Structure 1
Amino acid sequence: MIIAVIDGMGGGIGAQVVLALREELPTYIEVYALGTNSIATSSMMKAHANKGATGENAIVTSSKRANVIVAPVSVVMPNSMMGEVTSKMSEAVADSEALKILLPIMPENIEIVGLENKPLALLIKDTIKVIKKEFNIK
């Protein structure tokens, strides 16, 4: 099983997700760090992702192989993350057959009503619960 964690900017969110996945899930599950830039990829690799790659083509290609994609919701919004997310990236994630777990961390001019305002640590715990339930992992 492959879990692709996608992040941009400094990779802080992705690094926290990768670290939690490594702590909570069996070691046979591969975690890919996919950064919109090299700093984000590096941060996630330091959190012990199995593999890492950077940029549009890496995200487009790896989104096809992943069973699960974990990312901020802005990854499906072209030009988000200060322009780091390209149209091809957001389309690849949206079109992927992977289970997509999108963290409700919004760009500054986007609001999604009806979401519970939770700290990132609780969102990551919820992410792991969904993965364990969906793939029957104990």
Structure 2
Amino acid sequence: MKVAVIDGQGGGIGKVLVGKLRQEFQETIEILALGTNSVATMMMVKAGANQGATGENAMKYNMNHVDFIIGTISIIIPNSMLGELTPDMAAAIGSSEAIKLLLPINRSNVSVIGTQLEPLPHMAEMLVKHLQKIMSERSESNV
């Protein structure tokens, strides 16, 4: 399974997500760090991503080469992350057939009703458990 983790700005959220994914899945998944800037990409690679790429073209190209896309809800909102996430990036992410696992972190004036706000480490843990469940269901259906 190939998982893209997307982040921008300082890469702190992506770093936490990549670290948690690597801790739980070890080397059984391939993690691709996709940053809106080189600092975000570098932080995710240092946290354990197998590869990293930066910028709009890398983001658009890789959306149809991954099984899962992980990030905050802002990755599907044009001009989020203080303008770092372009409308074309948001469209490519939203249009991808990959399963998207998004955290409801509110930095783009978007509130997802019905979600319970938790600290980032707790949300990362919930995301990993959800990914494990999906991967388990997929492997059972292939038997």
The TM-score with structure 1 as length reference comes to 0.95
CA contact (8 A) 2:80 2:108 kept: no
Equivalent runs, 1:68-87 vs 2, <5 Å: 68-87=68-87
Q: Tell me the CA shift for residue 114 of structure 1.
A: 1.9
Q: Tell me the CA shift for residue 37 of structure 1.
A: 0.3
Q: What's 2:103 paired with?
A: 103
Q: What's 2:19 paired with?
A: 19
Q: Which runs of 4+ in 1 moved over 3 A?
A: none
Distance in 2 of aligned mates of 1:4 and 1:110: 23
Partner SS state of residue 13, structure 1: helix
Gaps of 5+ in 1: none
Distance in 1 of aligned mates of 2:48 and 2:40: 13
Partner SS state of residue 32, structure 2: strand
Gaps of 5+ in 2: none
Equivalent runs, 1:21-100 vs 2, <5 Å: 21-100=21-100
Q: Tell me the CA shift for residue 21 of structure 1.
A: 0.5
Distance in 1 of aligned mates of 2:3 and 2:82: 25
- What is the one-letter code of the residue matched to 1:18? V
Distance in 2 of aligned mates of 1:70 and 1:111: 18
Residue-by-residue CA offset, 1:34-85 (whole Å, 9 max, x unaligned): 0000000000011010000000111111111110100110010000000001
Equivalent pairs: percent with the same residue? 45
Aligned length: 137
The TM-score with structure 2 as length reference comes to 0.92
